Amino acid sequence: MWNSSGHSNDENVRWSWLRAVEWLSWPLFMSQPAVPVLLYYYPWPAVLGTVVVVAFLWRAIVVPFWVAPRLAAFGPMFVMLKFLAAPVMAVLLWQRGDTPVALVALLWPVAGPTFAQWFMILPTALLSLTPLGEASQIGPVQTRFLLAIGFQLEQPIAPEGNQ
């Protein structure tokens, strides 16, 4: 796990910001290596629809209340599997004769999470009008990550150059 005492303030703020961005859309982030595999076993509308619904529920129910630095630190390592999973599953789907789904499996790590975010624009905008939505913005989530790793907040976090 990240140890805040072994890093500078800038490194701690940068680490917590990256983890907060990933944490807000954790299911979409983690879907990069998972969706190509799931497309081999399940119909594409079910896989993509489930990913979008789970991503929204995550943002609405989990993000406002919980952060897990150990799990968040593990995420980037897991996502690296996309470089193996996507091409292998694309070839397997193509060999099965399912060329359009093979293309989705191959391109999902590059464009899939961004594409899925489009379906979440309106629900996420409506969520942001609620107290849960305010708690699931990058700033509050980043602050919770900083506190969870033992970083002592002396002043509000400001982007570099704006202090």
Q: How would residue 163 be classed by pLDDT, with cut points 50, 70 and 90?
A: very low
Q: How would residue 42 be classed by pLDDT, with cut points 50, 70 and 90?
A: very high
93 within a domain of the structure (yes/no) = yes
For the segment 105-117, what is each residue's pLDDT rounded down to a tens digit? 999 999 999 999 9
Give the other-Cβ count within 10 Å of 121's Cβ: 9
Nearest to 113 by CA among 1, 9, 26: 26
Distance CA 114, CA 93 (A): 23
| pLDDT (mean) for 131-144 | 90
Query: Structural domain tally of the chain?
Result: 1
18 within a domain of the structure (yes/no) = yes
Residue 88 sits in which domain range?
A: 9-148
Nearest to 146 by CA among 4, 18, 1: 4
157 within a domain of the structure (yes/no) = no
Distance CA 28, CA 25 (A): 5
Tell me the average pLDDT of the chain.
Answer: 90
158 within a domain of the structure (yes/no) = no
Q: With contact defined as beta carbons under 8 Å apart, do 123 and 56 qualify?
A: yes
74 within a domain of the structure (yes/no) = yes
User: Could you tell me how many residues make up the chain?
Assistant: 163
59 within a domain of the structure (yes/no) = yes
Q: What is the pTM of this model?
A: 0.83
pLDDT recorded at residue 4: 72
Distance (Å) of CA 130 to CA 23, 133, 136, 137: 19, 5, 10, 11
